[in-house]
Amino acid sequence: MAEIIDGKKISAEIKEELKEKVASLKSQGIEGCLAVVQVGDDPASCVYVRNKKKACEYIGIKSKSYELPAETTQEELLKLIGQLNEDASVNGILVQLPLPSHIDEKTIINGISPKKDVDGFHPESVGSLTIGQPGFVSCTPAGIIELLKRSHVNIDGKNCVIVGRSNIVGKPMALLMLRENATVTITHSHTKNLQDICKTADILIVAIGKNKFITGDYIKEGAVVIDVGIHRDENNKLSGDVKFDEAEKKASLITPVPGGVGPMTIAMLMYNCVKAMTGMKD
Ligand code: NDP
Pairing between strand 238-239 and 231-232?
Answer: antiparallel
Contact present, 2 and 225 (Cβ < 8 Å): yes
Residue among 278, 233, 269 nearest 49 (CA): 269
Q: Is 281 in the pocket of ligand 1 (CB under 6 A)?
A: no
Q: In ligand 1, which atom is closest to the CA atom of 260?
A: 41
Q: Which stretches in the chain have pLDDT values below 70?
A: none
Taking the model in full, what pTM does it have? 0.97
Residue among 111, 105, 8, 117 nearest 125 (CA): 117
Q: In ligand 1, which atom is closest to the CA atom of 170?
A: 25
Kindly report the CATH number that applies to the domain delimited by 139-262.
Answer: 3.40.50.720
Q: What is the reported pLDDT for 282?
A: 75
Q: What is the reported pLDDT for 213?
A: 98
* Check whether domain 30-120 has CATH 1.10.10.10, yes or no: no
* Bridge partners for 64 per DSSP: 35
Q: 90 C-alpha to center of ligand 1: Å?
A: 32
User: Domain ranges in the chain?
Assistant: 30-120, 139-262
Q: What is the reported pLDDT for 176?
A: 98
Q: What is the reported pLDDT for 281?
A: 74
Q: Is 265 in the pocket of ligand 1 (CB under 6 A)?
A: yes
CATH topology identical between 30-120 and 139-262: yes
Q: Is 208 in the pocket of ligand 1 (CB under 6 A)?
A: yes
Q: Is 147 in the pocket of ligand 1 (CB under 6 A)?
A: no
Catalytic (active-site) positions: 52, 96, 119
Q: What is the reported pLDDT for 62?
A: 97
For 155-199, write each residue's pLDDT tens digit: 999 999 999 999 999 999 999 999 999 999 999 999 999 999 999
Under 8 Å CB-to-CB from 246, ≥6 apart: which residues?
A: 215, 216, 217, 219
